[in-house]
């Protein structure tokens, strides 16, 4: 049985702490406290109600709030929607302008884009190169029409920490509401809504070892932050968020907050030491770049870009190792996209570096042994990919990475040739023939090097910068050439696609391979003809 993946994606979600799961179980079964907390007419409901209120106190305690200021939601995405849309509808008569940053989470970015369509004016502030925003830049963006500033406390991709306390003083002086998405901060570092002078603050349980599907929005009572509800119904949560409360999830979130309150300081110190050890190991590679501030950050997140490798090949390789690494290129909410991170591009990273970035996020159960294994695995894979690149010139010697036998995202043929490409050492021999190709709209670049003797190809090597399928196509191409004469190179794109079982979106990889075959066939014929003339 394959060894379970090493998990370094705690910023995407955390496992539920066993103590949290045990607390939740007591509110699920027929012999437990399964009542509806709104059913105050009988004991079942009253017990559930009391448990919900205790959890409300536990969440409030963790962020320095009052229990009455906590509104239950389904998670940070809903909290962000309720905060921003709720303010927009409640304060539209005062102004129709908001300020946010280009590096916010999608659940803020997309809400603001929606409001733009409704006639609101949104100022999108660019970050400084370290990912932070200056209070001076923010101050210049606020005007008489501004009703809300929405900023993350900790960026979900880079871990960069904003100076929300200084920003809170500014917004309070200007009479502007401040909403903070604190999903990546609460439970991992001290958060005090009074000190930060925050009016609205979003929290998600599954980022701090609680269950998925439950979160909270802090809504300040004094001075009061008004919201228009986005879900209407039974008037639950002081009318701000109707719907039957999921008692088991709420008590789970409360317990997770209680544990975090006790363990946070010591846990953060341990995780920061592991994160620094990870960065020290990865930075031994040349041309590796840390994204975001190296001094203003949360303990558990490290975002790194690797020059000289394609992002898809890097991530597929890491997840396809014999002992896979569970990592992310950024936010789990945007992981399906093939584009590079908009957060990293906003920081000034060029597209290829932004695409070849990895977010390592550590947590409660990360060990030093795991970190050391990750360092070795990443170094080995990056060196193997760089050795195959036609553009990488620096030394990157090392062992071949230990790859798994299959990958769920690729055909067996593609994965087999990809792993062969990683295992092969580049030839030091001089090549008689060298041709190169790329395709518009693709990052892939392919170079084919070969030697011909007696009218037939005796050696061939493909050097490729690109995705898994392009590396596989290169390895297939080199294998196909051996023993053939130039006249025998008549394979078509469709035949290459079929042999590799390429996905339709990867047809350009077969096209590159066919182009190279045509080019090297023409060069080889000229070489053979020249040799025959000399011999005669």
- Catalytic residue numbers read 333
Measured CA to CA in angstroms, residue 203 lies from 126, 150, 471 at distances of 24, 14, 42
d(CA 105, CA 346): 13
- State the Cα angle at 345 between 198 and 298, rounded to 5°: 40
Task: Enter the tokens of residue 173.
Answer: 């002086």
Q: What does DSSP say about strands 215-219 and 288-290: parallel, antiparallel, or unpaired?
A: unpaired
Yes or no: say if 192 and 63 are a contact pair by the CB < 8 Å rule: yes
Yes or no: say if 16 and 211 are a contact pair by the CB < 8 Å rule: yes
**Cβ neighbours of 145 (radius 10 Å):** 12
Per DSSP, what are the bridge partners of residue 463? 447
d(CA 304, CA 166): 28
Task: Enter the tokens of residue 114.
Answer: 């929606």
- State the Cα angle at 440 between 438 and 441, rounded to 5°: 115
Task: Enter the tokens of residue 195.
Answer: 């000190």
Task: Enter the tokens of residue 161.
Answer: 């920490």
**Cβ neighbours of 121 (radius 10 Å):** 14
- State the Cα angle at 42 between 37 and 45, rounded to 5°: 15
Helix (H, G, I), strand (E, B) or coil at 158: coil
**Cβ neighbours of 490 (radius 10 Å):** 10
122: number of CA atoms within 13 Å, CB side? 23
466: number of CA atoms within 13 Å, CB side? 30
Strand arrangement of the beta sheet that strand 456-465 belongs to: 433-438, 445-453, 456-465
Yes or no: say if 484 and 504 are a contact pair by the CB < 8 Å rule: no
**Cβ neighbours of 327 (radius 10 Å):** 21
Phi (first) and psi of residue 445, to 5 degrees: -135, 135
3-state helix/strand/coil string of 30-95: CCCCCCCCCCCCCHHHHHHHHHHHHHHHHHHHHHCCCHHHEEEECCHHHHHHHHHHHHHHHHCCCC
Task: Enter the tokens of residue 436.
Answer: 């190169």
Cβ burial 346-382 (10 Å sphere, 16+ → b, else e): bbebeebbbbbbbbbbbbbebeeebbeebbebbbbbb
Q: What does DSSP say about strands 121-125 and 97-101: parallel, antiparallel, or unpaired?
A: parallel
Residue whose pair of structure tokens reads 């996905």 in the numeric block: 503
Residues 6+ apart with CB under 8 A from 532: none
Task: Enter the tokens of residue 528.
Answer: 């053979």
């Amino acid at each position: 049985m394959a060894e379970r993946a090493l998990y370094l994606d705690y910023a995407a979600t955390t496992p539920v702490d066993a103590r949290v799961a045990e607390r939740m179980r007591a509110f699920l079964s027929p012999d437990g406290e399964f009542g509806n907390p709104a059913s105050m007419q009988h004991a079942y409901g009253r017990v559930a109600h009391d448990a919900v209120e205790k959890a409300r106190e536990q969440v409030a305690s963790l962020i320095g709030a009052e229990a009455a200021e906590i509104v239950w939601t389904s998670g940070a995405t809903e909290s962000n929607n309720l905060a921003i849309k709720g303010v927009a509808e409640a304060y539209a008569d005062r102004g129709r302008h908001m300020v946010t940053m280009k590096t916010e989470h999608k659940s803020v970015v997309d809400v603001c884009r929606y409001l733009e369509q409704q006639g609101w004016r949104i100022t999108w502030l660019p970050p400084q190169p370290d990912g932070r925003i200056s209070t001076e830049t923010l101050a210049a963006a606020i005007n008489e029409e501004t009703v809300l500033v929405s900023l993350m406390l900790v960026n979900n991709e880079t871990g960069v920490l904003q100076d929300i306390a200084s920003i809170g003083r500014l917004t309070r002086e200007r009479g502007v509401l401040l909403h903070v998405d604190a999903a990546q901060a609460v439970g991992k570092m001290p958060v005090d809504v009074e000190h930060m002078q925050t009016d609205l603050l979003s929290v998600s349980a599954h980022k701090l070892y609680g269950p998925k599907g439950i979160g909270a929005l802090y809504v300040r009572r004094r001075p009061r932050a008004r919201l228009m509800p986005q879900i209407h119904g039974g008037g639950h949560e002081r009318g701000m968020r109707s719907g039957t409360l999921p008692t088991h999830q709420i008590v789970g979130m409360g317990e997770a907050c209680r544990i975090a309150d006790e363990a946070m300081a010591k846990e953060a110190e341990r995780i920061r030491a592991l994160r620094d050890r990870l960065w020290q190991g990865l930075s031994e590679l040349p041309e590796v770049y840390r994204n975001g501030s190296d001094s203003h950050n949360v303990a558990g997140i490290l975002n790194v870009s690797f020059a000289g490798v394609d992002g898809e090949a890097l991530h597929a390789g890491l997840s396809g190792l014999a002992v896979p690494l569970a990592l992310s290129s950024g936010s789990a909410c945007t992981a399906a996209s093939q584009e590079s991170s908009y957060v990293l591009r906003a920081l000034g990273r060029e597209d290829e570096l932004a695409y070849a970035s990895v977010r390592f996020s550590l947590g409660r159960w990360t060990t030093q042994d795991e970190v050391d294994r990750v360092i070795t695995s990443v170094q080995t894979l990056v060196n193997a990919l760089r050795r195959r690149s036609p553009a990488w010139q620096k030394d990157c010697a090392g062992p071949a990475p230990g790859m798994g036998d299959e990958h769920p995202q690729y055909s067996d043929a593609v994965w087999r040739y990809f792993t062969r490409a990683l295992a092969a050492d580049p030839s030091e021999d001089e090549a008689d023939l060298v041709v190169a190709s790329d395709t518009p709209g693709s990052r892939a670049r392919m170079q084919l090097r070969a030697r011909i003797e007696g009218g037939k190809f005796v050696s061939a090597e493909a050097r490729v910068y690109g995705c898994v399928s392009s590396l596989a196509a290169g390895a297939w191409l080199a294998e196909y050439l051996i023993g053939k004469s130039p006249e025998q190179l008549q394979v078509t794109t469709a035949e290459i696609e079929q042999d590799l079982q390429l996905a339709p979106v990867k047809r350009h990889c077969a096209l590159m391979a066919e182009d190279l075959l045509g080019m090297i066939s023409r060069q080889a014929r000229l070489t053979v003809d020249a040799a025959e003339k000399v011999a005669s």
